[in-house]
Chain A
Amino acid sequence: MDAFQWLYSDIVKEHFTNPRNVFDPDKDGDFKADAEGMVGNIKCGDQMMFMLKIKRDTIEDVRWKTYGCASAIASTSMLSETIKGMNIRDAYHIKPADIANKLGGLPENKIHCSVLGDKALRAAIDVYLEREGRAGEFKGEDVQIICKCLNISDKDIEEAVKQGARDWHSLQEATKIGTVCGSCKTKAEELLHEFVHIYS
């Protein structure tokens, strides 16, 4: 089948078949995480969990688990490689688009599958900061969490609108916002309206 191009890039394929830092219950039973974060819902088709070892604000090691598609697995694998040795502040501000670029791009309709990884990462860092008595330290810098279930911020909504989201449906496609409890919809729609006004 060499004559046919795979749906995804070779990098995605490689990370999908050999994911880095994925939690292996047989080998990682004694992996002691300083913080864990989980987002998504298996009912929506994907869920992601990040486990971080952090020393002096540096991510020393990472493990993750997912119920998700190839796009989600490869993105999270790439993200986990990227953040090793990184300062948590920098890790916190990684954008899904950065990871998609490193993967050699993702099909348009698969972008929404790749956003869970960085949401889970942020959730884990938030847990760490809270434990350190520094709750919300990075959020104050530039973001406000709108969707608590999936840890989606005002910046994410802004970014989605910049990328072309114009209504609730396309915003959901891009970010998955409001697909769990839905209670953020009013606030998110206000922001959506605001950003659409600014960017279109």
Chain B
Amino acid sequence: MSSRYVYLDYNATTPLRAEVRDLMVEALDIYGNASSMHELGRAARAEIEAARKNVAALIGAKNPSNLYFTSGGSESNNTVFNTMFFHGRAQKRRKIITTSIEHPCVLNAAAHLGEEGFPVVFLNVDDRGRVDMDQYRRELGLDVLLVSVMAANNEIGTIEDIREIARLAKEIGAFVHTDATQAVGKIPVSVDDWGVDYCTLSCHKIYGPKGIGALYVRSKAPIEPLIRGGHQEDGVRAGTYNNLGIIGFGEAARLAAAELGEYAAHTSRLRNLLRDLIVERIPSARINGDPDNLLPNTLNVSFPGAEGESILLSLDLEGIEVSTGSACASGSLDPSHVLIAIGLGPELAHGSIRFSLGKYTTEEDIRYVGEKLPPIIARLRKMSTVPFEQIAVAGHHRGV
């Protein structure tokens, strides 16, 4: 077994931070139903509303009541698409514009609307993962109901120009949604500055608990519940309040907002060090994403001639935890849709690794990876059927 344990999969999820954990342990005893009128209920309700303020502040939402707690990012995204289904089915204006690199919950929710007869466009992205704005402008028209573009991509870390995307959508009167799951806590998020109508948040990406998220809905934007029942969350999201999750989310959001600048500086410094070590020590390593618009903590690299799952498991044996765009790790036969969308050939996409850094990453961790990774790549390349130099050239479909 390895001597060290290095977690570099913070985009997948983050550990629960101590401050949040402590508060949640205390909150375990807040058993009152926040919908009850008695004292215990009111106490729980007060905690929930305090949490809502903190979450609202994290995304620059002036009115906390525009935020609805959900079970997480997937539910928030599905709530938006479900709303568009009810809102758009009886009118001509029902075209949906999204991108080819969204999280599967957006891709599948959009595809489902497509099956129900809504015209759906999945915009192309360039070789850095930025939305093709020319195609976007061409697709915009008075028939567009919703534009949904992620604020930052989970796999390659590319940040989209949500402000400009929203501005153009607003010119023709479309609603705008952004999935900011990967952006919050890493870059400034402001729903007013961006001008979006809906914004999806998840708590477990910012050192809070799993199973809790939120959806921001601008006043007057339509909203249709995905889960019907009681009057919780103004009837937008029924179900007994998840006291524990919401209280944890509030604290995680408060800390994320307070530490944003520090967090970005810490992770980007170490991310850049990792990038430099890899480029210096591993020939033909290819950095994916947009260096000018990149999440501070994310580094996606293709290693021609070495298969992703083999890299991942070799690193795992050294105590280093990452993720891959290789099909083999997911059990499907197709490599990452994001890497294919940015123009990587499958032979490069299969050999891609995502390193996502976080709060607890140290320089020693990064130097350890810098030591362990090169021999792993060299070993796999040595047994490869095709010389890596050949793949490195062939794999650049559009090149950077």
Contacts and interface: CB of A to CB of B under 8 A. Distances in A.
Report whether chain A binds chain B: yes
Interface of A: 1-2, 6-8, 13, 16-17, 19, 22-25, 38, 42-49, 65-73, 107, 109-110, 112-113, 172-173, 176, 179
Interface residues of B, number: 30
Contact of B383 (A2, A66, A107): A66
A10 B305 CA distance: 26
B386 A42 contact: yes
Contacts of A13: 317
Contacts of B305: 67
A73 B1 CA distance: 21
B328 A45 contact: yes
15 contacts: A16-B313, A22-B383, A23-B383, A44-B333, A46-B328, A47-B386, A49-B385, A66-B385, A67-B305, A69-B308, A69-B313, A69-B329, A70-B309, A72-B307, A113-B328
B326 A24 contact: no
The 10 closest A-B pairs by CB, nearest first: A109-B331, A69-B328, A69-B309, A43-B346, A45-B350, A47-B385, A42-B347, A67-B384, A70-B313, A65-B385
Interface in B297-335: 305, 307-310, 313-314, 316-317, 319, 326-329, 331, 333, 335
Contacts of B327: 45
Contacts of A176: 333
B331 A110 contact: yes
A1 B1 contact: yes
Contact of B346 (A44, A73, A110, A172): A44
B313 A7 contact: yes
A24 to B, nearest CB: 7
Given A42-B385, A47-B386, A67 B331 contact: no
Nearest to A76: B383
Contacts of A66: 383-385
Given A45-B327, A70-B310, 16 more contacts: A7-B313, A19-B383, A43-B345, A44-B346, A45-B307, A45-B326, A45-B335, A65-B383, A66-B384, A66-B385, A67-B385, A69-B307, A69-B310, A69-B313, A73-B310, A176-B333
Contacts of A69: 307-310, 313, 326, 328-329
B386 A25 contact: no
B86 interface: no
Nearest to B384: A67
A67 B386 contact: yes
Interface string B1-43: 1100100000000000000000000000000000000000000
B351 to A, nearest CB: 8
Given A42-B347, A42-B391, A73-B310, A65 B384 contact: yes
A129 B246 CA distance: 69
B382 interface: yes
A47 B317 CA distance: 24
Most chain A CB neighbours (cut-off 10 Å) among B2, B329, B383, B385: B385
B244 to A, nearest CB: 26
A1 B5 contact: yes
Most buried by A among B5, B309, B314, B350: B309
Interface in B35-76: none
A2 B328 CA distance: 24
A172 B385 contact: no
Contacts of A7: 313
